[in-house]
Amino acid sequence: METSNVKTLGQTIGKVSKACKVTNTKGDAVTIVVIIDFSTSSDSDIRAWLASDRIIAGQRPWRALSADEIKELDGQTFNANSIGTKVKSRSEQLNDLMTVFTNAGVDATQALALANAALDNPSSLTIA
């Protein structure tokens, strides 16, 4: 009989010790250390929990955006390490890209067109 030595994510993670602060409804704040055992958790559960944590991190800076800017986030891919950082608006991104292009010697009109192209379809910019 053949057995697999491949571990699930939960088995690989095992038990994790984490300190947390809990404030009850009376305002009492207590710091405790809890141990969470992931060894029986499914891979899909762990992925869902990870994604939920990253969504919460992303929601903090997204609150500073307008409704239209938030809608522009729909379908975008975010790096898990940087999702909680400030999100630049389209105009901020355009300005940053235009600065890069004009510093490279591109005239302002063409720099604006390139910046828009880079934001709308990054894969369309290729280096020959």
Domains in the chain, number? 3
Same domain, 64 and 74: yes
Same domain, 83 and 58: yes
**Domain range for residue 67?**
42-87
d(Cα 3, Cα 9) in Å, to the nearest integer? 18
Question: In this structure, is residue 1 part of a structural domain?
Answer: no
Q: Concatenated DSSP letters for 45-102?
A: HHHHHHHHHHHHHHHHHHTTS-HHHHHTTTT----TTTTTSPPPPHHHHHHHHHHHHH
In percent, the amount of the chain with pLDDT more than 90 equals: 57
Per-residue model confidence (pLDDT) at position 93? 85
The number of CA neighbours under 13 Å toward the Cβ of 120 is 6
Per-residue model confidence (pLDDT) at position 40? 96
Per-residue model confidence (pLDDT) at position 26? 96
Per-residue model confidence (pLDDT) at position 89? 76
Question: In this structure, is residue 126 part of a structural domain?
Answer: no
Per-residue model confidence (pLDDT) at position 52? 95
Q: Scanning the structure block, which residue is given the tokens 């697999």?
A: 4
Question: In this structure, is residue 5 part of a structural domain?
Answer: no
Same domain, 99 and 82: no
Tokens at 13, concatenated: 């993670």
Residue 30: DSSP 8-state: E
Question: In this structure, is residue 2 part of a structural domain?
Answer: no
Question: In this structure, is residue 99 part of a structural domain?
Answer: yes
Same domain, 22 and 37: yes
Same domain, 46 and 81: yes
Question: In this structure, is residue 58 part of a structural domain?
Answer: yes
Neighbouring CB atoms inside 10 A of 60's CB total 13
Per-residue model confidence (pLDDT) at position 104? 92
Same domain, 76 and 103: no
Per-residue model confidence (pLDDT) at position 3? 60
Which pTM was predicted?
0.59
Q: Which residues of the chain have pLDDT under 50?
A: none
